[in-house]
């Protein structure tokens, strides 16, 4: 039963959990590692606890041999109590991440309060929590546990189990036989019920795991020092052999973890677990470590031949030739990133590239980190569905929804207040009074908008919403004929795109069944391959009137090769126009719409450009259509700025 299953079981009422599940859950939440005795508690009529003895795993550090000897055990009250109890009692004692003893009993968690000669008092962990200040206490003697004072809040068995599992996870982090990948995977498992009461935060667990892993590695590094009394250089040939290959302790540990061996300075490489391949030996580990060291040196000298890397566009490997897409990564870009991360990690003494501490160090070194302070982050206390018992109410939320709504820049409120004051004080005169005359407000940002999409100033405009702009663009550019009437889109396009395109097809007198083409990922793939898109264009190009794709797919995050698809549409399907939905690309990725010869595009601004809910949309039309006389929808603001207010109702280019 993994951590996830344990938590699911804990959420069931006790009367709905069968006996086998209860036994499994009890065993799973025992966080000791084969140390000491188990415990069993039976509540008596006088609210005290009778005692039975039984072998099991426990979090006590008592010596089993001493307890089984004829001599009286020289333990304290807590140790004696735990050694005498049985495993199905529901009582657990474990240590927090800071090493303090905690007691779990009957759905409550207690911290050690006072020790007396004949008993120990435990106080509820909520005793100092603002808003609670619970006075609950239990009193423990060598053979009993009873309620000393009652609680002011209900029990939370889910948090009890979560804390025990968290302690078990932290103990596993100190064991060098457990891989970091396994530990982080278990942490994610444990945090997967983040909306439920009692569960720890993933970020907090990751930091503790990273710290404990570094501490474990440091101890091994110290024991490798010949000056250490615990190190015997003549004891192990594997270690000395590895040193002949100039392998550092970090290299040895990484090699051991990858090949499922246990490396210790005194014992060299040892097999662990039944899953290791039988043809791999300790000598193979040494060779692997030396090869890894040589490979790293080669990479530093840029003399290693890298295998073909997968393109960001999910279509083909990156060739040595000049790529067609200007923002495609170079052949060795990803390897360069990995090497950079390895160097940074080495400089700060971190061996694990997935370490949370490495992420924090990279954040600290980011030259743009000051920009984070320009945005307002929601606080934990202001968000719905947040259990404030588990988090600091004044902490910033970890915001990962910029793809839906960008955070508010802190200066927004001040700028908006200025315009409200202008409206209140000037009324209609605000249209033409600087600063930021309303009638010309879009002109002040067109240069920035053009730069963001890689266009000329006269090719972009701000107005309406994305869907309205799409309808306006299709009204102008979708001119179906009996031969060329199809619109080509990606599968699972954003609903507003899909609906708008279907409605435009029907408005022009065609049916969706005959005029809408979708391209799908291959079986087993999440993303659409670029070669499949090109192949379909070549196959049906003579019948395609419009190609309309999202630059970044809203659901999979796939970045399509805008330049290559646009070029294919123009070359293979002469007469076809190519447009792009930039909702998830605008202010997110580099764009060069003019250079890539895109015909038209539109986008929203409330996502990555943080204009706020209801923010005005934008669109692009290539300069070559500037004098195009095709029939289209027109409006007042289509006039040149200098003739716009003549009001003679004569259209002017």
Q: Domain count of the chain?
A: 3
Q: Is residue 178 in some structural domain?
A: no
Other residues' Cβ atoms within 10 Å of the Cβ of residue 382: 9
Q: Over 80: is that where the pLDDT of 461 sits?
A: yes
- The model's pLDDT over 112-147, given as tens digits with 9 standing for 90+, comes to 888 887 888 888 988 877 767 788 888 888 778 888
Q: Is residue 92 part of a domain?
A: yes
pLDDT at 228 over 50: no
pLDDT value of residue 160: 79
Instruction: Please determine, for residue 294, whether its predicted confidence score (pLDDT) is greater than 60.
Output: no
Quote the tokens at residue 12. Answer: 């069931």
Q: Which residue has the tokens 């025990």?
A: 164
CATH code for the domain of 502: 3.40.640.10
Q: Considering 295, 320, 340, which residue would you say is the last residue of a domain?
A: 295
What are the two backbone dihedrals, phi and then psi, of residue 620, each rounded to the nearest 5 degrees?
-130, 135
Domain, as residue range, for 88? 3-173
Asked if residue 77 has pLDDT above 90, the reply is: no
Q: Answer yes or no: do 505 and 586 share one domain.
A: yes
Please tell me the predicted confidence (pLDDT) of residue 251: 57
Whether 429 maps to a domain, the answer reads no
For residue 259, being part of any structural domain is answered with yes
Is residue 250 very low, low, confident or very high in pLDDT (cuts 50, 70, 90)? Answer: low
User: CA-to-CA distance for 58 and 83, rounded, in angstroms?
Assistant: 9
SS3 262: strand
Same domain, 262 and 148: no
What's the mean pLDDT in 53-77? 40
Tens of pLDDT, residue by residue over 520-562, are 999 999 999 999 999 999 999 999 999 999 999 999 999 999 9
With cut-offs at 50, 70 and 90, classify the pLDDT of residue 95.
Answer: confident
Label residue 324 by pLDDT band (50, 70, 90): very low
Q: Mean pLDDT across the stretch 605-610?
A: 96
Alpha carbons 29 and 102: distance in angstroms, whole number = 14
| DSSP SS3 for 112 | strand
Q: Which two tokens stand for residue 130?
A: 């603002």
pLDDT in tens, 430-453: 999 888 899 988 888 999 999 999
DSSP string, 196-246: STTPPPHHHHHHHHHHHHHHHHHHHHHHHSTTSTT--TTT-HHHHHHHHTT
Q: Are residues 48 and 138 in the same domain?
A: yes
The reply to whether 611 and 544 lie within a common domain is yes
User: 614 near 606, Cβ under 8 Å?
Assistant: yes
Count, residues in the chain: 653
Domain edge (last residue) among 266, 295, 324: 295
Residue 282 banded pLDDT, cuts 50, 70, 90: low
What mean pLDDT comes out for the span 389-393?
88
Residue 388 above 80 pLDDT?
Answer: yes
The answer on 610 and 469 residing in a single domain is yes
According to DSSP, residue 578 is labeled E
What is the rounded distance in angstroms from the CA atom of residue 204 to the CA atom of residue 206? Answer: 5
The predicted pLDDT at position 652 comes to: 60
Whether 152 and 255 share a structural domain = no
The pLDDT score that the predictor gives to residue 633 is: 82
Q: Which residues pair with 110 in a beta bridge?
A: 103, 124
pLDDT of residue 152: 81
Return d(Cα 375, Cα 382) in angstroms, integer.
Answer: 16
Among 132, 171, 151, CA closest to 32: 171
Last residue of a domain, one of 157, 173, 189: 173
Residues 158 and 269 in one domain: no
Q: What percent of the chain has pLDDT over 70?
A: 64
**Tell me, what CATH number does 95's domain have?**
2.20.25.240
**Of 421, 372, 404, 546, nearest in space to 471 by CA:** 546
> Looking at residue 306, what is its pLDDT?
31
If you average pLDDT over every residue of the chain, what do you get? Answer: 74
Residues 24 and 106 occupy one common structural domain? yes
Strands 600-603 and 577-581: parallel
Neighbours of 121 (CB within 10 A): 16
Q: For residue 470, is pLDDT > 80? A: yes
Mean pLDDT of 459-476: 96
C-alpha 604: how far from its chain's center? 24
The SS3 of residue 363 is helix
Residue 649 belongs to a domain: no
- Residues in CB range of 73: below 8 A, 6 or more apart: 62, 66, 67, 79, 80, 83
Q: Is the pLDDT of residue 78 over 60?
A: yes
Q: Is residue 364 part of a domain?
A: no
- Regarding whether 590 and 528 lie in a shared domain, the answer is yes
The pLDDT of residue 319: 36
Q: 473 in a domain, yes or no?
A: yes
The pLDDT score that the predictor gives to residue 247 is 56
- 622 shares a domain with 517: yes
The mean per-residue pLDDT over the stretch 610-617 comes to 94
Distance between CA atoms of 567 and 581, rounded to whole angstroms? 17
Evaluate whether residue 22 is within a structural domain. yes
Cα separation, 589 vs 327, whole angstroms: 9
Q: Note whether 465 and 610 are same-domain residues.
A: yes
* Tokens describing residue 473: 């663009």
DSSP 585-646: TTTTS---TTTTT--EEEE-SSSTT---TT---EEEE-GGGTT--------GGGS-TTTTTS
Query: Do 231 and 155 lie in a common domain?
Result: no
pLDDT at 317: 34
């Amino acid at each position: 039963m993994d951590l996830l299953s344990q938590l699911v079981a804990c959420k069931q009422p006790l009367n709905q959990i069968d006996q086998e599940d209860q036994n499994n859950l009890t065993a799973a939440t025992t966080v000791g590692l084969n140390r000491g005795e188990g415990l069993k508690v039976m509540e008596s009529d006088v609210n005290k606890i009778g005692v039975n003895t039984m072998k099991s795993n426990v979090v006590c550090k008592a010596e089993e041999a001493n307890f089984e000897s004829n001599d009286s055990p020289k333990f304290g009250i807590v140790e004696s109590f735990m050694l005498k109890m049985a495993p199905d009692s529901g009582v657990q004692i474990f240590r927090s991440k800071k090493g303090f003893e905690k007691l779990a009993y009957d759905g409550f968690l207690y911290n050690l309060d006072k020790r007396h000669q004949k008993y120990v008092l435990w106080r509820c962990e909520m005793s100092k929590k603002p808003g609670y200040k619970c006075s609950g206490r239990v009193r423990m003697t060598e053979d009993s546990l009873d309620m000393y004072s009652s609680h002011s809040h209900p029990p939370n068995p889910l948090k009890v189990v979560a804390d025990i599992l968290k302690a078990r996870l932290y103990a596993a982090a100190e064991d060098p036989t457990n891989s970091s990948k396994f530990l982080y995977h278990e942490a994610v498992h444990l945090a997967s019920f983040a909306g439920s009461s009692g569960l720890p935060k993933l970020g907090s667990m990751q930091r503790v795991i990273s710290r404990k892993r570094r501490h474990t590695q440091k101890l091994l590094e110290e024991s490798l020092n010949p000056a250490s009394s615990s190190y015997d250089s003549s004891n192990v040939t594997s270690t000395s052999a590895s040193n002949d290959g100039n392998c550092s302790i970090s290299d040895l540990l990484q090699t051991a973890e990858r090949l499922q061996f246990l490396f210790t300075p005194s014992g060299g490489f040892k097999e662990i677990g039944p899953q290791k391949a039988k043809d791999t030996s300790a000598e193979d580990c040494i060779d692997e470590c030396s090869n890894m060291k040589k490979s790293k040196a080669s990479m530093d000298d840029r003399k290693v031949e890298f295998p073909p890397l997968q393109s960001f566009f999910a279509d083909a490997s990156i060739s040595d030739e000049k790529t067609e897409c200007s923002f495609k990564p170079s052949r060795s870009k990803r390897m360069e990133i990995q090497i950079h991360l390895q160097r940074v990690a080495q400089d700060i003494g971190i061996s694990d590239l997935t370490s949370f501490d490495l992420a924090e160090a990279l954040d600290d070194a980011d030259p743009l980190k000051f920009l984070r302070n320009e945005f307002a982050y929601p606080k934990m206390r202001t968000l719905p569905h947040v259990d404030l018992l588990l988090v600091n109410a004044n902490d910033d939320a970890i915001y990962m929804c910029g793809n839906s709504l960008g955070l508010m820049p802190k200066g927004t409120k001040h700028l908006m207040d200025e315009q409200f004051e202008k409206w209140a004080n000037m009324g209609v005169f605000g249209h033409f009074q600087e600063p930021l005359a309303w009638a010309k407000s879009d002109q002040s940002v067109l240069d920035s908008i053009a730069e963001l999409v890689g266009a000329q100033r006269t090719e972009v405009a701000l107005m309406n919403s994305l869907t309205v702009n799409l309808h306006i663009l299709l009204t102008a550019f979708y001119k179906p004929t009996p031969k060329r009437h199809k619109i080509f889109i990606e599968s699972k396009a954003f609903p507003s795109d899909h609906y708008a395109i279907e409605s435009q097809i029907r408005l022009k007198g065609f049916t969706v069944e005959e005029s809408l083409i979708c391209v799908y990922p291959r079986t087993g793939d999440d993303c659409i391959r670029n070669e499949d898109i090109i192949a379909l264009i070549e196959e049906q190009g003579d019948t395609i009137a419009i190609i309309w794709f999202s630059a970044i797919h809203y659901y999979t995050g796939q970045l399509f090769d805008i330049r290559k698809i646009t070029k294919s549409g123009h070359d293979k399907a002469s007469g076809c126009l190519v447009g792009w939905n930039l909702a998830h690309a605008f202010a997110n990725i580099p764009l060069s719409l003019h250079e890539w010869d895109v015909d038209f595009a539109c986008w929203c601004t409330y996502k990555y450009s943080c204009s706020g809910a209801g923010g005005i949309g934008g669109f692009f039309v290539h300069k070559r259509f500037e004098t195009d006389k095709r029939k289209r929808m027109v409006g007042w603001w289509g006039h040149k700025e200098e003739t716009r207010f003549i009001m003679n109702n004569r259209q002017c280019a």
